[in-house]
Structures are given as C-alpha cells and as structure tokens.
Structure 1
Amino acid sequence: MSNYPPYLGHKQQFKVNRLTEIGAYIDGGDTEILVPVKYLPQGIRPDDMLDVFIYHDNEGRLIGTTLSPLIEVGEVAALNCVSVTNHGAFMEWGIQRDLFVPFAEQSDEIVEGRKYLVYAYIDEVSGKVVGSTKLSKHLGNLPPQYNPGDKVSGVVYGRNDFGYRVVVDNKHWGMIYYSEDAVNYHHGDRVELYVVRLREDGRIDLSIKPVGLKRITNSADKLLDLLKNKKRLPIGDKSDPQEIRKQTGLSKKAFKMAAGILYKERLIKIGPDSIELV
C-alpha cells in the first residue's frame, strides 16, 4: 500500500515557503512542492497562502497548480475522453495533465470524443490519482445517512425502465422515478435533489421537488414547541408508537423525521427513551 499525502488530489490552501525563477515552493509537510511560475498570481510573497491542487507530473513528482480541476479525489463528474492508448484512456481534467483511466477500471470501452462519468481515486499501487468508470466498485460502500426531505447533490448517470439513476453526493446510488418527475435529464447533468426514502439495499429514492418537506417541517415545529414547554419528553426511537402519538400527536414515522431535523440543527438530544432540548 502506497503512502501518499492527504492533500494529494485535492485543492486546498498552502503556505508559500520560498520563491525562485521557476516558481514557488509551498509547504507540503515533509516536502516542498513546486508551483510553476505560470500559475502564480502577481505579487505573491513568501508566507502568503495559496490555493493549490496537488497531483503528479510526467516524471512522477508532486506538483501544484492554481487551476481548478474538473474533478478531485472522491468525486464523480462527466469528463470528455481526449485520447485512448494501449494502456488506457485519458480524460480532460481541466489542468495541464489529463486524468488516466486504466483499462481495468473501464466498465465499457471508452471512445475518444465521448463523455463518461468518472470517479477519481488514488491508486494504491502507483500512489497516483487515476479515474474509474466502474462506479459501482467505488460507490455505495457506506450506508447513507440521510433523513427524508434532506437536500442532496446528484449527477445523472443514465436512465432505465423506471427512471434516472443518479450518483448522490459522490458516494451513493439513487433513483428519480418517472412518476416523480417528468424532467428530461442527460448523462452528466448536475441536479439538486431531495431524499424521499432510504431503501433496504442502501440506495436512495429521490425527487427534484421537496415532496412532503412542508409536512415534515410542520411536524418538527410542533415537536419543538412541545419541548419548549416541557423541556423533556419520555419518548425516543425505541418508544411504542401509541406512546409517541399520546405525547406528541405524531405518528412514529413523523416523530422520527421531525426529531432528525431538530437533531441535525443541534436543538435537541435524543436517547433511546427520551428527547430533550439542548
């Protein structure tokens, strides 16, 4: 397993250590990293902070650029293929270097001039940033942590008999059903969506409209008002539905949704059998 710095494949702020004729050397922890002079803003000085994206150059050395890449490590984006070689495909990256997608990481044959959804990650063998169109290999490895009504960011993957498959927050698979929304989406479109429900298979049902959000928000307001009066209620996630309805007038499902909203806003503390204001 390669040891690579945590900033590799990400754009973040670095301190400028020194300036030379060829560029600025920034503080990379155990090493200094060159940012070529053509990427430097005018008037840059030692000890200034600079937003830099770190990757490897053609010789395998760490190098920085102030350009913004089309995709960072851990993200999914639609990228155009600029060339195909005997080793794999190269995708437009938005910086001087193209992003390499090995043949082993291609779900289907990549054709020059076409766009594909690509996931960027660090190859454990080479330690370099590479891409993959085998999205299912990299997505859905962690259970989604959302509540119904949550707003998420999505990238449209494609369509099937039921609707549009979507990559949610670069981590999960989701679905917009035709019955929910009649919008004509295209491969690679970025959309703002709302969580409808979490499925048992770890995937997420989505909508472009805040379906039921007003009802959920009203329930949260009602629960908050009750807690402002009583400070604490003897009900929680494991409480009997009838007891929850008796205490709040809400169904257990509506109570959990409302409590989730208030917890996310850090207004309450939730226990197995109690809920109270912070």
Structure 2
Amino acid sequence: MASGVETETQWRTAARLSNQQLVEAPVEGQLGMSVDELSPAGVRTRMPIPVGELAEAGGGLEVATSVLADTAAGVALSAYQGHGGPTIELRLDHVAAPTGQARWLIAEAAVLHEAAGAAYLAAVVRDDTGQEVARAAGHFVLARGSRGVASPPLPNSSAGEPAERGGPASEMTDGLFRTLAPGGDPADWVLSASEWLANARYDVHGGVLMAIGQLAQRRFQEADDASAALAPLRIETDYLRPVPADGGELRCRTGYVRRGRSFRILRSELARADGQLAAVVNGLWSSAGSSIR
C-alpha cells in the first residue's frame, strides 16, 4: 500500500504529465494552459489572458474562458476516473470581466456527482487578482465501470518537463485567432475546421465550439444594432457529434430566439462539412449595459 508521501509524489507527477499533454495539444498549447494542482478532490489550472489586436479580433477572452472551463473540467474528470471523456453539455455563466491588472485566468474544477452514465462537473474561473470571471457546469461521459477516484498515473520516462509558461499569451495564438477573426455574414459564418482549433483527439475543441457560438452571437447583434451595450450572461452548448479538425468547412448559423428590449436569447447551430449538426449554442444576452466582455 502506498504511503501518503508516495501518493502525493504520484499526483505531482500526474500534474507534470498533464502539463506535457497540454503543451502538445494544439489549442491548449497555443494558449499556454497549465495545471497547478491535481488531486482526487479536483484540479487547479491556469491560462494567460490573451492580449493584442489579434486576440481582440479573434475574441481572445471569450476563447480563453471557454477553453479553460471545458479543459479544466476534462482534466478533473481524468483525475477522477483515470482518463477523460467527451463533453455532453456545458453551461458558462459570465460574472465579470477580469480586472485591468490581471494577467492570468485561473480555474478550479471538480466532479460533483455521477448520474446515469454521466459525470457532472463544475468549475469556477477567476483572474489572478481574485476577481470571479465565470462559473461553468456540465455533463461529461463517464466511462463504464468507473468506481470513484482513479490512481494517478506513474512516471513515464519518455515524458519531459513541460515548457515554461509566462503570460500573457501572444505570438503562439496567431493561428487560433486568425481562424476566428471576423469575416463574412455573421448570421451564416463559414470558417475552416483547421488544426489550430483542435483538441488532443484532433477534433475541434469543445471550448472553441462554444466560443465560436458566442462570437457569432455578438457579431450578429452588433450588425443588427451597433449602439447596443452587449453583455453575455449565459452561454450553453449541447455537443452532438465531433468536428474533425481536418480543414473542412465549419458553418455557424445564428439567429434570434427572442429579441427583447433589454434581454435577448440567441441560438447558433454549428454544422460539419457533411452537413451534420455538431453543436447547438444558446446564449442569453443583456443589452441593458454592462462591463462584461
């Protein structure tokens, strides 16, 4: 039976190996995501806040928050059952913008319960000044036969130390944000499912699909009413099937479900090159004025 010291060492090793996997994953590697803490109780992850004109054009904060929340929950599930599982649905509630002094987004995530073949996870995203930025919760596929906390992986001699990371994210994100830069009709946005948008399985990252829906909804509303002070309150995504990151067409169609005087509900449908619906993103927005971006 392993001692407490041995177990702690194994979990530190597991966190280091998780960092190596994130460095090698296309989206997380570009954004500089890393794991600070990993244990049966949950994980603590971080990502530098993207800056610069390219990050602004490509929706840097929207992308970073969505990817961080989705990935943090996935890493927490991996610690819980020994490996990750696909996201079934994820809800992101926006709380506030990061402070002007903030350089990092930090997410803490954990499995809350299991039900009917799914694990329910929650994550809180804060900046490095302690400001709460967002809360996320959703269901992920729970592997059959999973029974509570899995043992952390043992050291792998082929895995090196992860690259040093320092915020803010900059030139590494060029491919990601260039792919997400605005262009064309915001109601019918066609972009490439390129490798820059991929997760470790080389499907388009679930957090990126959520971000695409949110970006499309913002641009759709701005084209409709350029003077509106728009703020996302809730972005909710149902994942129906994977989108291969093979350079094929990814189409995002967006429209109003209800356009109220102060609050609006929008729906974005993301379809693969074969026409199959891959994800549905529903957003609740305020046009009453707010600082949340």
TM-score range (shorter-chain normalised) is under 0.3
Who wins on radius of gyration, i.e. which is larger? 1
Q: TM-score, normalised by structure 2?
A: 0.23
Structure with the bigger percentage of helix:
2
Q: TM-score, normalised by structure 1?
A: 0.24
